[in-house]
Amino acid sequence: MKYSLLLTVGAASLLAGCSKNNDFTPAVGMDGEAIFQAACAECHEADDGGYYFELTKTTDIGKTVRGGGLMMPAFPNIQGEALRSLEEYVAARSRMAE
């Protein structure tokens, strides 16, 4: 009885660990750059040319932000105009891999 309870609790915390969410919510009027500096820059540094990413044609910036990655947390509260503006900023500061 006790043992199965422990197992249940263990599985629940494992699941929570997989779906890491970052509850950052952009303030009204923040543009893509401001959002990036506040929520993303701690993990993503610009290279010497000022570029943050090397993207492929299949990279969906919005989907990455909303859904996260293997290591990257998801940002479900960045949406609408804020997400669009963030996507624009990230795209402008990325190199395209051929």
Sequence letter at residue 7? L
Q: Is 30 or 39 the residue whose CB approaches ligand HEC more closely?
A: 39
* List 69, 81, 92, 96, residue binding ligand HEC (CB under 6 A): 69
Sequence letter at residue 58? T
* Span from 1-9, 10-18, 70-78 in contact with ligand HEC (CB under 6 A): 70-78
Does position 43 interact with ligand HEC (CB under 6 A)? The reply is yes
Rounded CA-CA distance 10/36 in Å is 34
Of 48, 17, 47, 31, nearest to 83 (Cα)?
Answer: 31
Q: Is 8 or 22 the residue whose CB approaches ligand HEC more closely?
A: 22
